[in-house]
Amino acid sequence: MAMKQLPSSVKVYSQTPEMTEASVPPSLLSSHTTKAGTWGRIVVIEGWLNYFIDGDDAVYELSPGIPGIVEPEIGHRIDPHSPVTFMVEFLR
């Protein structure tokens, strides 16, 4: 499974505050999902982090300009093991 593209019809309706490797909630470090119909976009502001999608053997390195796309109801997690600042946008 490769990282999908956002459908053109979705719009941002919410976003998290900016987070760092020190402030990321533990729930984002283990597999979790979004609800049906809810997409996500992991936006890195500074630094980089690894993004993993359940069932996909790839490791996606996210950095400024290279977002992570979160599909509805698909398990995923991040690994922010270096200095990073990022946020998550939610779309539907």
pLDDT band at 2 (very low <50, low <70, confident <90, very high): confident
Q: How far apart are CA 37 and CA 17, in angstroms?
A: 22
Q: What is the pLDDT of residue 81?
A: 82
Q: Which pair of structure tokens corresponds to residue 35?
A: 């609800």
For residue 6, pLDDT beyond 80: yes
Report how far apart, in Å, the C-alpha atoms of 86 and of each of 17, 36, 53, 55 are.
Answer: 9, 24, 18, 24
Tens digit of each residue's pLDDT (9 = 90 or more) over 28-44: 999 999 999 999 999 99
| Model pLDDT, residue 47 | 98
Domain 12-91 - what CATH class?
mainly beta
Measuring CA to CA, which residue among 40, 42, 32 is closest to residue 76? Answer: 32
